[in-house]
Structure 1
């Protein structure tokens, strides 16, 4: 126990303390800027940062998430301050925190993940545009207007009447933010927001520019208790729920995003929601803004090397000490510099990466409707409009019916109906079926997961009419027998059947065949081939006809030979997608290594020089026997000389484990081994050149067998290893 405690303290001092200082430097200017944009006292941003860091850090469920005031709520807070006043807004924040505590107690956190990411990203983009337009007026020497549309329409007049020194401060701040990322690494150790404010404040002070100064005098010690808001309690209750749900949803989505960025303990979402609620209660009572998990601070925290919640807690302590001891230095910061920082931050919320993601899932209309609604109407209205459109599109997808028809060499017509057969799909279904020539012999495959009465009546009537005119219809149901049960008069279940791929190929033989059929392996393989020919081959034959002349995979997939790992299953990939290499321990021997191995090297060479793959993925898994053998020392493979020689390629992973986290050595080694093999790939000259040129991406995956979850494994930090490129 003593050793564990000492290790924890050492890890905190080594990793979490430096990370907390980096996050603190990012948090202070952003907290002040968000408070200014919300029309709240500037000190409220610092109070929220302290409450989010200390309270949410201690009580929350994520080890690396950092909470504080968030830009996504500025529009709501500004409206509440204007309507009810600041002290009443603090009480609304307290009530919202209480709602989050109740939701966390009732285990409702997972429900927030049902919100479409297109709605979330559209909301953030809309809020970012509103903030940018409003603060642009401040940069130009004016005042923000009451709405995003008014800010936009009055911007030309503001540009004409702009004030020289104030504009120069804003332009200087934005310039520093733009160029900071291109400066040498040792200079970029100072966060860009802090550097921009320091440069702007220093320049304005040296040249004596006429700018607006920030005044925090009496803000920290001038505390007053929250007061009851006066007005319609229905609107007040709506505001409480809006803050609770928006802040909670942003925190949980940020929590999920940060989980994919580190290899430590996964987040407890219900505990995180409760921690956010407690932080909001404390923040509101002390006179702070609402608190939520902030992706910018959390990402900075992870990249700075944080390992535990103490980084978030310490960042809150540093903000508190700064506010109490060095608050006077804030008066040197020009208000226009903070406004320029918010303009830059607001524009950055419009992420091209997010737009590409939603475009890939045909959800751009949801994104645009949400963003436009937030800008022109309001935050709640825009989010509701986006949710409504997302629900309509989801309903449309769920009720979409496709009918594929093709003529077989023997003259029979094969038709495959896919989707959920409801009354909404009946017009399309009947149109396609009636186009089948009378008298044709039809093989009808129903690849459906639901059929209501209207769809059954339409399908059954067509079948009777077709057979009456001399045709034949043979129906094969690839899922549960919806048609057969309906035709027999059996009462139908109201639920959809779970999706099952054609032929149920993904089930082990023992689960499909039963013990009676567990005879010779040849028999199992033969029966499996027969099932493939009968049920799956007709569906995939067109795909294989296209692939018959050449392969064009986009990924080289290197994984373990373990029988429980199925690359096509865990990646939802199909024929022609993956160029796969499997070996014991998913190892990649370094170029020119001893003992030599040409098999993996040949696959890498062929994939990068001939196939021109875009990605090389190394996929490890939990409970890997090869890693267990490495941990067991040479004695574990004493009777297996060939395996012993092969596992020497994993010695570098075992060496790295000595400095790692040892709560679960096998799991840690399995994950670390993936990172090491990504490093080994860079020893191949062709791979290294393509990665540096941006034409090739290296990805690490980790498959947790027990939970059937695939996690992204981040590459080792560049400073951890610089592999030697040999060939």
Structure 2
């Protein structure tokens, strides 16, 4: 009887994809990683070979094990200040041991699934931390660009800067300034910016230095790299000092890696990152890097975005880039010793300045979080990373408590009736002022208490109830009212409670709208776009109509056409979301054909006809979360979302923006009863749940997919 053998090797299509996409991308990332890794090592006070070891390990280990397929890991500018401090305090061998311990802690965080809590940090604190690190790196490397030596702190670097500026350093200044100029100017040159600017700058300045700068300080690598590795040893210090060092490296590396992974996910349409697995991969990389005497490893957005832009499709690109670095160092390390140190400093100077992003500042200002950002950045730059982040977190917490305690309590008297209006968030912190206001009402008065609070905790409830009973015992009467459902009353309540958001709305009014998304959904009153997407004022440009329809270009639906073209061409939205929903009356009316003859509704529902034809060609649709087959109207509603996504591409501006990578089309289907959203994919035969999980169509001939390509029907 013949036996069958099962091959575990990747199919030919996978190898073809690696050769056509991942191999070229890995070479691009390899070329940009070399100067960045050397520059970060030099800025951190680490041996230069340690930066290259971290780049190799980050590419191979984190690339193979991590949960973000297209993220590239290695030494990162965000850890420069931390590593420099550890080297000064403990020495390099002990810093390598701390890196190893931090990696083990990261693995533990990933295995216990609490690593994702790092993303719960206030964005203002995280971006402020990166800005503070960026300023520190920029000022530090400015000294090296000018041919001098960086000092140990920001204050010392600033204090020494005037003397550095008036000192003549000859060739080093030329090399550094020329590097900065090329890094800034190269991306502005059309058709050549596919080659990374740092690579062009370092190669050009190195070539110039080889010809005309014989005395410039250059990279100094050991003759035998493997024999010169400084292996880890146990650090000398108190348990508290060592624990603080390990926690700092682990937390900063984790936060930077996870934020980078989330950012990379937005750059491509492939599989989303598994953050817990990514943390395990980063921990494994740091453990191995520390054992080999390398620097700490994190996910790096600069290399990762380059990887995506270069066309990478799988994690093979990251792994290959690490192998190229290892081969280059072992076989051609002498070429690296031609690079001027001032050139590496110039690359790091620009990298540091780019950590201070104006887009983040504008967003945080719009959401009234700029103070936390500035305080964190200044604290990190002046006091140190741990101290600055701690100050930022404390300030963010104080602001949250202040907002929670900021209930508005007013009392007015008219015709013998006292009206007490309580709005905002009423918790125990605001009970004292509430009780004072209530006790100011004369005994025996008739009182109406209007509660329009966002949150009422038990302490506040007890305070109101105790006062109510006491006031009634003294001969008065109390009527407690919740907010009324009437629209005009709701408007008045909003105006009375809008003080907390008025500054943000005033800024939006002054600066104009800059939404990131166009949200097209049904006019159904049960659909609340801001609730589904957890967004706020200024985040979405919204179009609502019966059936969330997008008639193709030229269908004489001027209102929808105008909204789409304005959103894409004028507002420059990054995505268009079409959101259908369960129990859709428009879908049910279309199937029943019961719209009044000659009515506007009947004319509008004719746009549903392509969706009906598409739905007929689909197998049963099973919701993968519940295992329940969708009813006919819901199946039509799902198919309708896919058709509307295709209709969007009939608009030239939409098609052009999507082809250029400036716009993403997203389909959503909201199950009202389950309060759950599903992604509708129109070009691939599979369903993506809103949390990023994918379920392929394989289930006894039924489809777990929400939709398939309508153009194929």
TM over 0.5: yes
Written as runs of structure 1 = structure 2, the 5 A alignment for 1:184-203 is: 184-185=190-191, 187-203=192-208
Aligned to 1:326: 332
Matched residues in 2 for 1:202 and 1:438: separation? 92
Aligned to 2:37: 31
Written as runs of structure 1 = structure 2, the 5 A alignment for 1:243-258 is: 243-258=249-264
Structure 2, unaligned runs of 5 or more:
1-5, 499-508, 588-604, 619-634, 684-713
Q: 1:365 deviation in Å?
A: 2.2
Matched pairs, number: 614
Q: 1:11 deviation in Å?
A: 2.8
Change (3 A) 1:606 1:137: closer
Matched residues in 2 for 1:189 and 1:649: separation? 44
Per-residue CA distance 1:393-442 (angstroms, 9 max, x = gap): 22222333134779999998572433132144431564488489995652
Per-residue CA distance 1:103-122 (angstroms, 9 max, x = gap): 22222212212211211111
Matched residues in 1 for 2:96 and 2:295: separation? 7
Aligned to 1:169: 175
Per-residue CA distance 1:10-37 (angstroms, 9 max, x = gap): 3333332232222222211111110000
Q: 1:165 deviation in Å?
A: 1.5
Aligned to 2:577: 619
Matched residues in 2 for 1:269 and 1:678: separation? 33
Tell whether the 8 Å contact from 2:550 to 2:560 is kept in structure 1 after alignment.
Answer: no
Change (3 A) 1:672 1:29: farther
Matched residues in 1 for 2:396 and 2:495: separation? 35
Aligned to 2:689: none
Aligned to 2:12: 6
Deviates more, 1:121-130 or 1:608-617: 608-617
Written as runs of structure 1 = structure 2, the 5 A alignment for 1:305-704 is: 305-403=311-409, 413=419, 415-427=421-433, 430-431=436-437, 434=440, 439=445, 442-453=448-459, 456-457=462-463, 460-461=466-467, 464-465=470-471, 472-477=477-482, 532-533=485-486, 538-540=489-491, 557-559=519-521, 566-571=528-533, 579-582=542-545, 588-592=550-554, 597-599=555-557, 601-605=558-562, 614=571, 618-620=576-578, 646-647=610-611, 679-683=649-653, 700-703=665-668
Deviates more, 1:121-130 or 1:668-677: 668-677
Q: 1:227 deviation in Å?
A: 1.9
Aligned to 1:71: 77
Matched residues in 1 for 2:118 and 2:246: separation? 16
Aligned to 2:151: 145
Q: 1:538 deviation in Å?
A: 2.2
Per-residue CA distance 1:335-372 (angstroms, 9 max, x = gap): 10101111111111111111122222322222122211
Change (3 A) 1:710 1:356: farther
Aligned with residue 214 of structure 1, among 201, 211, 219: 219
Change (3 A) 1:645 1:707: closer
Tell whether the 8 Å contact from 1:63 to 1:309 is kept in structure 2 after alignment.
Answer: yes
Change (3 A) 1:98 1:568: closer
Tell whether the 8 Å contact from 2:78 to 2:130 is kept in structure 1 after alignment.
Answer: yes
Tell whether the 8 Å contact from 2:416 to 2:446 is kept in structure 1 after alignment.
Answer: no
Matched residues in 2 for 1:228 and 1:433: separation? 65
Q: 1:166 deviation in Å?
A: 1.1
Matched residues in 2 for 1:714 and 1:265: separation? 16
Tell whether the 8 Å contact from 2:282 to 2:298 is kept in structure 1 after alignment.
Answer: yes
Matched residues in 1 for 2:267 and 2:328: separation? 29
Per-residue CA distance 1:454-490 (angstroms, 9 max, x = gap): 66336642785489576x532134xxxxxxxxxxxxx
Tell whether the 8 Å contact from 2:109 to 2:115 is kept in structure 1 after alignment.
Answer: yes
Tell whether the 8 Å contact from 1:119 to 1:383 is kept in structure 2 after alignment.
Answer: yes
Q: 1:97 deviation in Å?
A: 1.0
Tell whether the 8 Å contact from 1:401 to 1:429 is kept in structure 2 after alignment.
Answer: no
Aligned to 2:65: 59
Matched residues in 1 for 2:258 and 2:62: separation? 13
Tell whether the 8 Å contact from 1:400 to 1:425 is kept in structure 2 after alignment.
Answer: no
Structure 1, unaligned runs of 5 or more:
478-501, 503-530, 630-640, 655-665, 716-727
Q: 1:295 deviation in Å?
A: 1.6
Root-mean-square deviation (Å): 4.4
Per-residue CA distance 1:701-723 (angstroms, 9 max, x = gap): 443648846989999xxxxxxxx
Q: 1:174 deviation in Å?
A: 0.8
Q: Secondary structure at the match of 1:557?
A: strand
Tell whether the 8 Å contact from 1:560 to 1:619 is kept in structure 2 after alignment.
Answer: no
Q: 1:167 deviation in Å?
A: 0.8
Tell whether the 8 Å contact from 1:425 to 1:455 is kept in structure 2 after alignment.
Answer: no
Matched residues in 1 for 2:52 and 2:20: separation? 26
Q: 1:92 deviation in Å?
A: 1.4
Change (3 A) 1:107 1:459: same
Matched residues in 1 for 2:481 and 2:542: separation? 33
Tell whether the 8 Å contact from 1:262 to 1:713 is kept in structure 2 after alignment.
Answer: no
Tell whether the 8 Å contact from 1:560 to 1:620 is kept in structure 2 after alignment.
Answer: no
Change (3 A) 1:423 1:125: closer
Q: 1:77 deviation in Å?
A: 1.2
Q: 1:553 deviation in Å?
A: 9.5
Aligned to 2:116: 110
**TM score, norm. by length of structure 2:** 0.75
Matched residues in 2 for 1:712 and 1:134: separation? 49
Tell whether the 8 Å contact from 1:21 to 1:315 is kept in structure 2 after alignment.
Answer: yes
Per-residue CA distance 1:51-72 (angstroms, 9 max, x = gap): 1111011111112221111111
